[in-house]
Structure 1
C-alpha cells in the first residue's frame, strides 16, 4: 500500500475518507474548545499527513494553548506534514518520523489532553486493537479525550472497541451513526492515568489491505 497516494481520497469530498475527515476535525475542534483553560497536550498515533489536527488548529481559538506531537513512519507523509506546519507557522506542532507503535515517541507528552488514534484500528489485528486501548490509559490524561476511528465493515469490531474502552475507565461521549460509511468514536478518560512505560510496542501495523486478504484466505 502506498500510504502517501492513499491520502488523495481525503481530497474527494464525497469519499468515505473525505466525510470521515470532516467529522474527525469537527470532533477535535469541539474537544479543544471544551478543554479547561491552560496548556493542552495533543498526541497523534500514525498521524499520516496530520490532516486531522492540522486542518483544525490554524483557526481554532485554542491554537496558542496546544502543544502537539504527531508520529508517522512514512517519509513522504512526514515531509508533507512538516511542510504544512511550516507554512502555517505552527511552531508548537512537532512531527516525529518514527514507528508510532513504540511508546518512546510519546515520552514527555503524556498524559495528553487529546489523543488521536485515527486510521489505526482498521490496520491492525483485533488483539492489537485491544492492546492499544490498554495503552491509552497511559497516553490520556484524566478528563482527556480520545478520538478514534474504525471501519464498520463486517465483522464489525466497533461495538467491541467501545466495550474495551469503557471497561478501562473511558466514558462514551459521541459515536458516528452505524450507517455513516465510516466509524468515529469520542471517549473521555475518567480514571487516573498510568505512567507511560518506555520501550513498549503497542501494536504491529499490518494494513487493511493485508488484513482483508487474510480474511479472504480464511
Structure 2
C-alpha cells in the first residue's frame, strides 16, 4: 500500500451525511438488502477491499435472518480489518470472517468464492483501467450462477493517475460486465463530490472454477 492515500482518514468522510461516500454507502446497503431478500436459504457474501466492512456489517446487523448469511471480507489494511472484526463481534455476527489479505491475489479468495453476492465497491476508481478489465474478466469465477455483483466508480477525478482514465469510464465498465456474462439490474449516479455511481449486475453464466493467476489481479494506484 506504499504511496496510496491514508485510508483510515479517508473513511472519516462517511461521517458527513452529505458526502458522496455517504450516498454510496446508502445505495450499496439498499442493494445488499435487496439481494439478500431475493432468495431464501443460506447465502454467501464476498466483499473485496472491504475497508471496515460498514456496508456488509451494517446490513447484517439490521437483519433478523443474519444467521443464514455467511460473509468473507477481504481487507489488506490491518487496522481497518480489525475494526471490521470488532464491529462483527459487537453485532453478534458469528458467520463473518475478516481476512487481512491482499485481495489482488487469487489465493485470497480460497474458500470464499463462489458467492451469492459479491461487493466490488471502492475499487475501480483506484486501480488502472487494465486492472479493472482484468477484475471484470475474473468476476464469473467469484460468482455462483445468478449471483449479484455490486460495483462502484466515481465519474470525476481531481488528478491524473497512472493508467487511469480521468472522468467517466462507466459506460465501458457496464459494457465489459455484459461481455463477461452479466445482466445489469441497476445503475445509479450522484452529482455530489466525486460524482459517484453504483451498479448492480447479475451473473447469468455457468459456474466457473476459481483459477490460479501468475500475476496480481489488481494493484491500487492511490
Q: Give TM-score, length-normalised by structure 2.
A: 0.89
3-state DSSP of counterpart to 2:26: helix
* Among 120, 136, 144, the residue aligned to 2:147: 144
- Unaligned ranges ≥5, structure 1: 208-218
- Unaligned ranges ≥5, structure 2: 157-165
CA distance in 2, matches of 1:198, 1:38: 30
- Runs of 4 or more, structure 1, over 2 Å off, are 177-181, 198-201
Q: How does 1:85-164 map to 2 (within 5 A)?
A: 85-153=88-156, 154-164=166-176
Q: Is the 8 A contact 2:67 2:93 kept in 1?
A: no
Q: How far apart are 1:58 and its partner, in Å?
A: 1.1
Structure number with higher helix proportion:
1
Q: Which residue of 2 aligns with 1:48?
A: 51
3-state DSSP of counterpart to 2:125: helix
Q: Is the 8 A contact 1:113 1:143 kept in 2?
A: yes
Give the stretch that moved more between structures: 151-160 or 196-205: 196-205
CA distance in 1, matches of 2:91, 2:149: 25
Q: Which residue of 2 aligns with 1:5?
A: 9
Q: Which residue of 1 aligns with 2:163?
A: none
3-state DSSP of counterpart to 1:141: strand
CA distance in 2, matches of 1:62, 1:127: 39
The Cα RMSD (Å) is 1.3
Q: Give TM-score, length-normalised by structure 1.
A: 0.91
Q: Which residue of 2 aligns with 1:174?
A: 186
Q: Is the 8 A contact 2:106 2:212 kept in 1?
A: yes
Q: Number of aligned residue pairs: give it.
A: 206
Give the stretch that moved more between structures: 146-155 or 41-50: 146-155
CA distance in 2, matches of 1:103, 1:132: 11
Q: How far apart are 1:165 and its partner, in Å?
A: 0.2
